Amino acid sequence: MPPSLTDPADLVRRWRLPPGDLDAIAAASARFPLKVSDHLAAQLVGAAADDPRARQFVPSADELVEREGFVSDPVGDAQVQLAGGLLQKYRGRALVVATAACPVHCRYCFRREYPYGDASAVNHWPAVLDALRADPTVVEVILSGGDPLSLPNATLARFVRDLEGIPSLTRLRIHTRFPTTSPARVDDELCALLAETRFAPAVVVLHVNHAAELDEVVRPAVRRLRATGAVLLSQSVLLRGVNDSADALAALSEALGALGVVPYYLHLLDRVRGAGHFEVPEAEGVALVRALTDRLPGYLVPRLVREVIGAAAKTAITG
Ligand SMILES: *Cc1c(COP(=O)(O)O)cnc(C)c1O
Ligand code: SF4
């Protein structure tokens, strides 16, 4: 993985944040370490902490505030584990927490406290394959994380080959934050893997929250992915101070549409401890999506969803 920014003092210096913020940044980062990709570190030099991109990654004192209802595993991952790192909640598809590593640490992440050490598939791969072979009702594997593209191409290629060898599997999906945070990861080998797999077209779901993330380096990376023939979707989290306006969400949808990416889900925040200051209430989310519906073609309006423990699918929020 390319070098990243992990030292609070470096962050304050490089982004020219108020030096007085360092203590809070260091304290929050002791709970969930600071991590900003090299690409974003460079893009955001001099950006204020309230920049909609910077805000997603700058640790803040708000993270230390305990709030009622904000817990360590808000989506019930611990209860649905089939094998180390293999989770199944929904019919026909299973999610592989491929690895613990991510290109960035998003401060609102619902896996902030996920016990990766015990439960990422890269450490239990034979057991994951056995579980998939044993249950032919699972037809789609979602490589997620952490971020699956944190794995080297050779490991990813081995994973994909092994999955291709399980006849009951018909679809492969990859959920990733890399293209928008560390676009150099979209290299020729990765593109060849996506283009040539028997699962083609693979489905790649990009995690992106603001149009500004689709900068002049990211856009060509997305175009390279599209050239593999993969189906490109996006998922975003509705975040206070990042994308909580109809203008911001519409601009994001337009920017995605221009790259051939279909906005898929807009998630209400999962109520993980430390992320309460990012929450946008459900009613406000509904109103924002209504405003988008008035402005955009239906295919550029993401579905507003919430993850409800025990539900058979992501729960659509329609107001
Ligand atoms: C979100 C999620 C999925 C994917 O849901 P889709 O509606 O198919 O996009 C699959 N498995 C798990 C465990 C999930 O959390
Ligand atoms: S990339 Fe995804 S898993 Fe990693 S910190 Fe961000 S939201 Fe969490």
Q: What is the DSSP string of 57-119?
A: TS--GGGG---TT-BS-TT-GGGGEEETTEEEEETTEEEEE--S--SS--TT-TTTT--TTT-
Q: Which pLDDT does position 200 carry in this prediction?
A: 98
In sequence order, the β-bridge partners of residue 144 are 97
Nearest-angstrom CA–CA distance, 146 and 149: 9
Q: Which atom of ligand 1 is nearest to the CA of 142?
A: 10
> Rg of the chain over CA atoms, in angstroms?
19
* Residue whose pair of structure tokens reads 């994909």 in the numeric block: 160
Mean pLDDT for the chain?
Answer: 95
Q: Is the pLDDT of residue 112 over 90?
A: no
Cα–Cα distance, 22 to 9 (Å, whole number): 7
pLDDT exceeds cutoff 70 at 117: no
Please provide residue 181's backbone torsions phi and psi, each rounded to the nearest 5 degrees: -120, -25
CA 4 to mean position of chain CA atoms: 17
Cβ < 6 Å from ligand 2: which residues?
102, 104-106, 109, 111, 145-147, 177, 207
Q: Is 232 helix (H, G, I), strand (E, B) or coil?
A: strand
Q: Binning pLDDT at 50, 70 and 90, where does residue 116 land?
A: low
Q: What is the DSSP letter of 284?
A: H
Contact predicate 267/235, CB 8 Å: yes
Atom of ligand 1 nearest to the CA of 313: 7
Q: Which atom of ligand 1 is nearest to the CA of 77?
A: 13
- Compute, in angstroms, the gap from residue 171 CA to the centroid of ligand 1: 13
Strand order in the sheet with 140-144: 81-83, 86-90, 93-97, 140-144, 171-176, 203-207, 231-237, 262-267, 303-306, 315-316
Q: Is the pLDDT of residue 2 over 80?
A: no
- pLDDT tens sequence across 32-55: 999 999 999 999 998 888 899 999
* Structural domains of the chain, with CATH: 4-64 (no CATH), 77-316 (3.20.20.70)
